[in-house]
Amino acid sequence: MESLTHSENIIMFLMMATILLFARVLGEIAQRYQQPAVLGEILAGILLGPTLFGALAPDWNSWLFPMQGHSAVVLSTVRNISMVLFLMVAGLEVDLATVWKQGKTAVSVGVAGLCIPFAVGITAASLAPMALGWEGKLPPMLFALFFATALSISALPVIARTLMDLKLYRTDLGMIIIAAAIFDDLTGWIIFAMILGMMEHTSGHSMGIPQTIGLTLLFAGIMLTLGRKFVQHTLPWVKAHTSWPGGTLTYALVLALPCAAFTEYIGIHAVFGTFIAGVALGNSSHIREHIRTVIEQFVQFFFAPLFFGSIGLTVDFVQHFDLGLVLLVLGIACVGKIGGCTLGARLSGMAVRQSWAMGFGMNARGAMEIILGLLALQFGVINERLFVALVIMALVTSMISGPMMQWVLGRPKRRTLDTYLSPGTFCGELFTTEIDEAISILAQKASSAVNLKHEEVFAAVKYREDLMPTGVGYGVAVPHAKIEGVTTPVVAVGLSRPGIDFDHPDGLLAQVIFLVLSSPHDPNSQFEIITEITRLFANGYMRERAIEISSYTEFRGLIRSEGQG
Contact positions with its own copies (CB under 8 A) in 274-303: 286, 290, 294, 297-298, 300-302
Q: Hey, which residues between 175 and 234 contact its own copies (CB under 8 A)?
A: 205
* Count of helix runs (H) and strand runs (E) in the chain: 24, 6
Q: Is 260 in the site for its own copies (CB under 8 A)?
A: yes
Between 524 and 539, CB nearer to its own copies? 539
CB of 561 to its own copies, least distance (A): 4
Q: Quick one: which segment of 15-23, 90-98, 345-353, 404-412 binds its own copies (CB under 8 A)?
A: 15-23
301: number of Cβ within 10 Å: 13
Which run of H or of E encompasses 344? Answer: helix 323-347
Site for its own copies in 301-320 (CB under 8 A): 301-302, 305, 313-314
Could you say which DSSP state residue 223 is in? I
Integer Cα distance of 325 and 238 in angstroms = 51
Q: What is the DSSP string of 454-511?
A: HHHHHHHHHHHHHHS--EEETTEE--EEE-TT--S-EEEEEEEEEEE----TT-PPEE
Minimum separation from the CB atom of position 240 to its own copies (A): 4
Q: How many CA atoms, within 13 angstroms, populate the side-chain half-sphere of residue 20?
A: 14
Mark the segment that binds its own copies (CB under 8 A) among 63-71, 86-94, 106-114, 223-231. Answer: 63-71
Among 35, 76, 211, 488, the residue binding its own copies under the rule CB under 8 A is 76
Q: Which of 412, 404, 410 is nearest to 337 (CA)?
A: 404
Q: Are 329 and 132 in contact (CB under 8 A)?
A: yes
Q: Is 170 in the site for its own copies (CB under 8 A)?
A: no
Selected from 103, 347, 539, 544, the binder of its own copies by CB under 8 A is: 539
Among 56, 254, 467, 468, contact with its own copies (rule: CB under 8 A): 254
Q: Which is nearer to its own copies, 71 or 187 (CB)?
A: 71
Q: Which of residues 390-449 bind its own copies (CB under 8 A)?
A: none
CA-to-CA separations, 111 to 122, 152, 187, 342, in angstroms, rounded: 16, 10, 10, 12
Q: What angle do CA 234, 237, 242 make, to 5 degrees?
A: 120
The residue within the footprint of its own copies, chosen from 60, 100, 244, 463 (CB under 8 A), is 244
- Residues 17, 131, 226, 352: which binds its own copies (CB under 8 A)? 17
Which residue among 214, 247, 339, 403 contacts its own copies (CB under 8 A)?
Answer: 247
CB-wise, 40 or 336, nearer to its own copies? Answer: 40
Candidates 52, 115, 253, 459: give the one binding its own copies (CB under 8 A).
253
User: Of 62-70, 207-215, 463-471, 511-519, which part binds its own copies (CB under 8 A)?
Assistant: 62-70
Select 48 or 180, whichever has its Cβ closest to its own copies: 48
CA distances from 340 to 117, 176, 187, 534 (A): 7, 15, 16, 44
Task: Give the interface size with its own copies as a residue count (CB under 8 A).
Answer: 76
* Stretch of 181-189, 258-266, 325-333, 462-470 lying at the interface with its own copies (CB under 8 A): 258-266
One-letter amino acid identity for 81? I
Estimate to the nearest angstrom the gap between the alpha carbon of 519 and the chain centroid. 32
Tell which positions 472-511 bind its own copies, by CB under 8 A.
none
Among 56, 68, 136, 410, binds its own copies (CB under 8 A): 68
DSSP label of 268: S
Q: Is 129 in the site for its own copies (CB under 8 A)?
A: no
Nearest of 320, 336, 310 to residue 387 by alpha carbon: 320
